[in-house]
Amino acid sequence: MGLRYGRDRVVRGLLHFLLGKGISSIAGFLGIVLVIRLLPVDQFASYSVLVALVETLTAVSGLGLAHALLRYVPELYAQHYQQALRRYVGGSVMLRSAVLLLATLVAFLCSNHLAPLIGLGDEIGPFRLFLLLVFVRSTSQFLSQILESTLHQANAQFAFSLSAVTRLAGMLYLSSRHDVRLMEVIWVEVASDALGLAVMLYGVLRMLSQGAEGGAIPDDDAHWLRRHLRQIGRFALAGYAQHLAILPYGGNTNRLVGGRMLADAAMASYGFAQSLYEYVKRYLPAQLLVGLIRPVVVARYAQHRDFADAARMSGKVLQINMLCIGAAFVGLAVGGPEAIKWMSAGKYGTEVAVILLALFIVLLLETQRQQLELLVQTVEIYKVLIPSNVVLAASVLLAVLLLPAWGAVSFPVANIVGLVIANAWVQRRMDAFGFRFRHDWISSAQVLGIIAVATLVGLGLKEPGMSWYLAALLSGVVYSVLGYFICGDMVRDFVSDLTGSGRKLLPPLEPAAAVDRPTIAFGVLSSKQSTAAVEQIAAAVHPHPVYVHHDFSKQPDFAPRGDNITLLEQPVTTAWGDWSLVEATYRLMARALANPAVTHFQLLSESCLPLQDIARFEAYLLKEQPDAMIDILPVSTDQILYSHGWRYLPRTALLRRIGRRASTWVAGNQHAHRDLGSLNLSLALPAANFSGRVAQWVGRSALRLAARSGQRLLDANALQGYAIGAQWFGANRRTVQWLLLARQALPAFTAHYQRCHIPDESYVHTLLHNAVAAGLPLRMAPANHALYWDGNGTGPDLLTDRDYGRLSASGKYFGRKFDLDPATALRRRVLDRAGAAGRVSGAPH
């Protein structure tokens, strides 16, 4: 991604962003309060309607240029394009300004007809003057998107702060007068926004004049725009179509419809609530940080094509937004009506508070919508938004139907209905395209719990007569403390993820080394009386070295002979089902790498035998050149989740026990088995009675919650998913080296697996699964073992003479599990087939 979107630039942009937003938020809030207090109710009602013109004319004249700009400018800037960036940005600004100017001129010429249509009556003068503000403000917003897309936050935030402070100064001046009119308020806003526009324009010109800043200018710089113009055009038109489709939805249309259908007092109340709502929305993390988050997400995705990373960041933003909205909800529930009366000098009260409560629910759904749009824009599937936008647009019809009975609150109620349907549609369509985004219900439940506790505390304090502002303050303290301890890690993870300071990236993969003749280190796990069996393995794979990890605590009488056999000097005490088998495997891999001649590693147990001559395995490694030979089943389907997910997803022993019980509820009394990935999966059959169906539903729900909980660990380590498979795998030298480094790079992830049940069937598999998902160039192949689960036991079947035929036909190079008695007929037949009977050992190790 380069230095332009690297950690230093992101951190510096974040600091400028926070400073600028801090100034503009305070000045902006005081400014809107002054407007509310200064203007009479009928004038403020007109002002509330006029505000909608900015977004309406911006959408009509936009042509999708802003959507395309937000998608392609970060990519061009990150890759140090010069001519392409200047031509693209310059052309977009000129085209959009021309179309916007034309739209405002048409509205100006038709003002005698348009103003009465939206309930302004004879307010023609304010309508015409506001069109000037529309042009200035809309152009300023467009330029700010360019600056934010290139992380030039200092210019953008200075311009916003200058506008807000100038507007506040103007309103303070007007407040010294007794009779303030709407025209005067508009002139103050025009002057303040014009100053911001000048600063924005200067910042864009300065950004375009910069050189490559040490980066290499791509060879196709001069031709990039011409080659991609049609692609950009299609993307822009798709964005324009979805923007027009959604235009009838939201606060701006509600203002226009309300101006036509509501009385001045009701419209002023709705305008007051909508203004406060828009202010809160503007300074939520999702809205505040969108200019910082969007280019980082787009630039990362353009480089790595890692949708899970983008979805993870968007999910965190959504939860942080919910936490912030919850704080506003608590304050409104405890002291809302009183605070509104104070802010408006007694003009407005309970009606505004009710509308605001409904709008906060809208705000929560809109933040989810915003993150969905960001992800859709990032992967360039805008067409999925168009049908959902039609649904949102149609919600205004429901509001019109409800207005006579419910009044102004009809607008947020209708918007809530539209958002629920539209968001569900977008998520479903994204799934169909292979882009999965799931809501973190566990975090949401935590936030809802904090909201409930803080609200009850505030209302309880008001009951004996405590003042509303003190009760609201104390409930806010309770909310902040609970939020810090319960959700603090979530916020810190987001900041670390955004800045890159805490991103736990997987280690790099060394280049593949040329191999003329493989030297295969066979790592053998042993704990029984297997001296003869290990000697047979060593003879069969001769002249390759055999490293044996033997648990002498279980069988001290163990002394295999063979000059290609090496016993590990410090073995660990092993036990079935715990981390010790993974630890033993890693010690075998480390010992194998200590031999510089080793090119490959293959894990065996004492009950394994080669099924073919070792020369055929050597030939396979030379021809196919696999990096890893392992069966990997992602824990992404219900079948695998219900059967094995409880072992790895819960993060505590108690939750694992609950998960295990839930797995048995899902399986029920009647269940089937399936051999998949050399594992024995338990398959749930439909329950025969009502109680069985209830138990299955409870079990499925519990395991799905466990999956959501397990996702947190993945998110914290920049990983994407869990995987399972049989523990017997093979790998080349560079992959073994990578597995050793990955364990060191992910201590928290490893610590989790050290507490899991049967981690040897998931730890290495999950690491390699995520390595492939992260784009590491690993050539994967199936595992080399034949093993069978016909008996549906806790381990694979003990092989008998009847299995010889299918072992021979399996095409695998190794099999298990064989009886350890070296004299059994099956062992002799298999070793004869492998050409290993009577072979003499002798190889350096």
Read off the CATH number of the domain in which 784 is found: 3.90.550
**Confidence class of residue 7 from pLDDT cuts 50, 70 and 90?**
low
Distances (CA, A) of 828 to 544, 657, 807, 834, 837: 21, 44, 14, 10, 8
Residue 727 pLDDT more than 60? yes
Residues 153 and 26 in one domain: yes
Order of strands across the sheet with 546-550?
565-567, 546-550, 520-526, 600-605, 730-732, 628-629, 780-781
The reply to whether 252 falls in a domain is no
**Confidence band, pLDDT 50/70/90 cuts, at residue 286:** low
d(C-alpha 770, C-alpha 749), whole Å:
12
Q: Say if residues 708 and 312 touch (Cβ distance below 8 Å).
A: no
Q: What long-range pairs does 484-492 form, CB within 8 A, spacing at least 24?
A: 486/446, 486/450, 487/319, 487/323, 487/443, 487/446, 487/447, 487/450, 490/316, 490/319, 490/320, 490/323, 490/443, 491/320, 491/323
| 731 in the same domain as 692 | no
Secondary structure of the chain: what % helix, strand, coil (to 5)? 65, 5, 25
- Residue whose token pair is 């397990």: 710
Number of domains comprising the chain: 4
Peptide bond into 554 cis (omega under 30): no
Instruction: Tell me the two tokens of residue 70.
Output: 């937000």
pLDDT at residue 4 greater than cutoff 60: no
Looking at residue 838, what is its pLDDT? 45
Name which of 587, 593, 553 is nearest 567 in CA terms.
587
Residue 79's alpha-carbon distances to 5, 92, 213, 220, 798, in angstroms, are: 10, 20, 11, 11, 58
Give the model's pLDDT for residue 392: 87
Q: Which long-range contacts (CB under 8 A, 24 or more apart) does 580-584 make?
A: 581/525, 581/727, 581/759, 581/760, 582/753, 582/759, 582/760, 582/763, 582/764, 584/525, 584/549, 584/551
CA distance 523 to 113: 86
Q: Is residue 389 within 8 Å of residue 373, measured between CB atoms?
A: no
> Is there a single domain that holds both residue 397 and residue 413?
yes
Q: What is the pLDDT of residues 460-514, one digit of tens each?
A: 998 888 888 899 899 999 999 998 888 877 777 777 766 665 555 688 889 888 8
Q: Is pLDDT above 90 for 614?
A: yes
pLDDT of residue 523: 96
How remote is the C-alpha of 527 from its chain's centroid? Answer: 44
Question: Are both 321 and 446 inside the same structural domain?
Answer: yes
According to DSSP, the β-strands at 633-634 and 671-676 are unpaired
Assess whether 10 and 158 both reside in one domain.
Answer: yes
Question: Of 217-231, 241-255, 342-356, 671-685, where does mean pLDDT reach its minimum?
Answer: 671-685
User: Is 288 within a domain?
Assistant: yes
Closest CA to 13 of 153, 207, 158: 153
| pLDDT of 837 strictly over 60 | no
**pLDDT for position 845:** 38
Rounded-to-integer distance, Cα 444 and Cα 453, Å: 14
State the amino acid at position 808 in one-letter form: S
Clarify whether residues 132 and 9 are in a common domain.
yes
Residues 669 and 770: beta-carbon distance below 8 Å? no
Q: How many other β-carbons are positioned within 10 Å of the β-carbon of residue 557?
A: 7
CA separation for the pair 785, 808 (Å, rounded): 12
* DSSP line for 712-775: HHHHHTT----EE--S--EEEHHHHHHHHHHHHH-HHHHHHHHTSSSGGGTHHHHHHHHHHHTT
Whether 772 and 667 share a structural domain: no
What contacts 22, CB < 8 A, 6 or more positions away?
none
pLDDT at 810: 92
Residue 40 lies in a domain: yes
Q: What percentage of residues in the chain have a pLDDT greater than 90?
A: 31
**Partner residues linked to 732 by β-bridges:** 600
CA proximity to 278, closest of 134, 412, 104, 163: 412
- Backbone phi, psi, residue 511, to 5°: -60, 150
Q: What's the CA gap between 254 and 248, in Å, rounded?
A: 8
Q: What is the mean pLDDT of the chain?
A: 84
Residue 509 domain flag: no
SS3 209: coil
Instruction: Report how far residue 54's alpha carbon sits from residue 138's, in angstroms, rounded to the nearest whole number.
Output: 7
Is residue 508 one of the residues assigned to a domain? no
Residues 260/117, Cβ–Cβ less than 8 Å = yes
d(CA 339, CA 505): 48
Q: Three-class SS string for 275-344?
A: HHHHHHHHCCHHHHCHHHHHHHHHHHHHHHCCHHHHHHHHHHHHHHHHHHHHHHHHHHHHHHHHHHHHHC
* Same structural domain, 339 and 231: no
Residue 562 lies in a domain: yes
End position of a domain, from candidates 723, 738, 758: 723
Q: Which residues form the domain of 479?
A: 278-503
The answer to which of 177-186, 521-530, 743-752, 775-784 has the lowest mean pLDDT is: 177-186
Tell me if 208 sits within 8 A of 86, measured CB to CB: yes
In terms of Cα–Cα distance, which of 246, 204, 216, 193 is closest to 69? 204
Average pLDDT over residues 14-26: 76
H-run or E-run covering 601: strand 600-605
Tell me: pLDDT of 704 over 50: yes
Structure tokens at 145: 């998107």
DSSP 572: P
* 604 occurs within a structural domain: yes
Residue 605 has pLDDT above 70, yes or no: yes
The answer on 647 and 785 residing in a single domain is no
Q: Which helix (H) or strand (E) holds 651?
A: none
pLDDT tops 60 at residue 270? yes
Q: Are the C-beta atoms of 46 and 126 separated by less than 8 Å?
A: yes
Please list, in sequence order, all residues whose beta carbon lies within 8 angstroms of the beta carbon of residue 785, skipping any fewer than 6 positions away: 608, 678, 726, 728, 812, 814, 815, 816
**Lowest-confidence pick of 362-376, 591-605, 608-622, 766-780:** 362-376
Return the amino acid letter for 475: S
Residue 5 has pLDDT above 60, yes or no: no
What is the pLDDT confidence band of residue 843, given thresholds at 50, 70 and 90? very low
Which of 705, 723, 741 lies at the terminal end of a domain, its last residue? 723
Q: Which of 583, 562, 555 is nearest to 571 (CA)?
A: 583
Comparing C-alpha atoms, which of 162, 164, 105, 97 is closest to residue 136? 97
DSSP per residue, 491-551: HHHHHHHHHSSS--PPPP-PPPPP-SS--EEEEEEE-SS-HHHHHHHHHHHTTS-EEEEE-
Whole-prediction pTM: 0.60
The tens digit of pLDDT for each residue in 179-219 reads: 888 899 999 999 999 999 999 899 889 888 876 565 678 77
Q: Work out the end-to-end distance of the chain between its first and last CA atoms, rounded to an integer number of angstroms.
A: 44
Residue 547 has pLDDT above 60, yes or no: yes
Which token pair is 265?
């007092």
385 DSSP assignment: H
Q: Where is average pLDDT lowest: 56-60, 290-294, 455-459, 599-603?
A: 290-294
Q: What is 161-181 written as a DSSP string?
A: HHHHHHHHHHHHHHHTSS---
Judging by beta carbons within 10 Å of its beta carbon (0-12, 13-18, 19+), is residue 217 exposed, middle or buried? middle
The pLDDT of residue 288? 60
Do 68 and 144 form a contact (C-beta atoms < 8 A)?
Answer: no
Indicate if 78 and 116 belong to the same structural domain. Answer: yes
Per-residue pLDDT, 178: 73
Within this chain, do residues 694 and 779 fall inside the same structural domain, yes or no?
A: no
Angle at 485 between CA 483 and CA 486, to 5 degrees: 65
User: 524 pairs with which residues across the strands?
Assistant: 548, 604
Domain end residue (candidates: 475, 503, 531): 503
What secondary structure letter does DSSP report for 573?
A: P
Closest C-alpha to 119, from 246, 313, 262 = 262
Tokens of 608: 């394994």
Average pLDDT over residues 94-103: 92
User: Does a structural domain hold residue 255?
Assistant: no
Range with the largest mean pLDDT of 257-271, 591-605, 766-780: 591-605
Answer yes or no: do 343 and 488 share one domain: yes
Contact predicate 837/613, CB 8 Å: no
